[in-house]
Amino acid sequence: MKEIISGKSFELISKENEFVKEYLGFIDVAEKSIETYKDGLKNFFLYMKVNGIKNPTRQDIIDYRDGLIANNLSLSTVNTYLISIRNFFKWLEYEDLYKDISKNIKGVTVSREHKREALTKEQVELVLSNAKDTREKVIFLLGLCCGCRANEICNIQIKDFIQKGNKILLYLLGKGRDGKVDYVVVDNSLYELIKQYIKEYNITDYLITSDYKKDGSKVTNKTIRFIVKQMFRRVGIDSELYCCHSLRHTFATLNLLDGKDIREVSKAMRHKNISTTEIYAHDLEQRNNSCFQNMERYVNI
């Protein structure tokens, strides 16, 4: 056991290793989460190896956490890594292999304010008018008009568009979902553009296919994010505040500005809790708070 947790071997992150299989079976998470857990554990083992730690203590985990923060790793990633470590040591104790030294170690507080900016209506028009092809427009509009995430866009297949009555529904592989159970409504004009794109690019399965593989395979969410980022940069929107998620942010913000009920927006965004949607509303209220303008009269006294 000492050899395993000392970092002398990286067998823990190997899918073929029986030890890993047992652990991953214990945590019982989706395949996407498994990769995240592996990354977190790999980093912790590397930390132990570099620092010559053979029998980690509670203080070692605390020092590791503080080091991640000092190295400007995102607070969300720090918490994710800590979760993987906590679950690992919980499993070790469960199997009577090592004491759970991670108990009661606190994560970091992550601000609930959005770190990305929404586009204005003028910026939306500017980006769309400078799209280089139909493929870019479809990607952009799926985020803007349907509130789709990058990962959802790259997993869309033609068969996911289902007509029910006079509505076109698009079923998505939502965040934290094992299957395509969530759906959004696709406006008729957007659906016509999508059909045009399918015909133009001879799409047969995945909606957005790889430019490089040329075999009809889907793109990665990293590619989707890159395409959107390039669309922004093309018109001079070049800031870390603007990314692919800004389209989803814009979907929520423009609907709230247009007077849509927050519960309706929350449903459209497929938020599990309305408090997530309330972050958008709070941001708008704060920016439009008249208290700040009320104090302007004192500036030139």
| Each residue's pLDDT tens digit, 232-258 | 999 999 998 999 999 999 999 999 888
Residues 80 and 196 in one domain: no
Q: Read off φ and ψ for residue 18, nearest 5 degrees.
A: -60, -30
Residues 281 and 153 in one domain: yes
Residue 185 lies in a domain: yes
Residue 45 lies in a domain: yes
- Round the average pLDDT of the chain to a whole number and report it: 84
Domain that holds residue 78: 2-94
Residues 167 and 237 in one domain: yes
Residues 89 and 155 in one domain: no
**Please, are residues 270 and 177 in contact by the beta-carbon 8 Å criterion?**
no
As for how many domains the chain has, the answer is 2
Residues 89 and 125 in one domain: no
Residues of the chain with pLDDT under 70: 1-21, 24, 28-32, 110-115, 176, 213
| Each residue's pLDDT tens digit, 51-68 | 888 888 999 999 999 998
User: What's the pTM value of the predicted model, to 2 decimals?
Assistant: 0.68
**Please, are residues 76 and 12 in contact by the beta-carbon 8 Å criterion?**
no
Residue 207 lies in a domain: yes
- Sheet with 161-164, edge to edge strand ranges: 161-164, 167-172, 182-186
Query: How far are the Cα atoms of 15, 52, 115 from residue 185, in angstroms, in the given order?
Result: 39, 55, 27
CATH number of the domain where residue 53 is located: 1.10.150
Residues 131 and 241 in one domain: yes
With a CB cutoff of 8 Å and minimum separation 6, the contacts of 75 are 69, 108, 109, 110, 111
| Each residue's pLDDT tens digit, 135-168 | 999 999 999 999 999 999 999 999 999 999 999 9
CA distance 220 to 208: 9
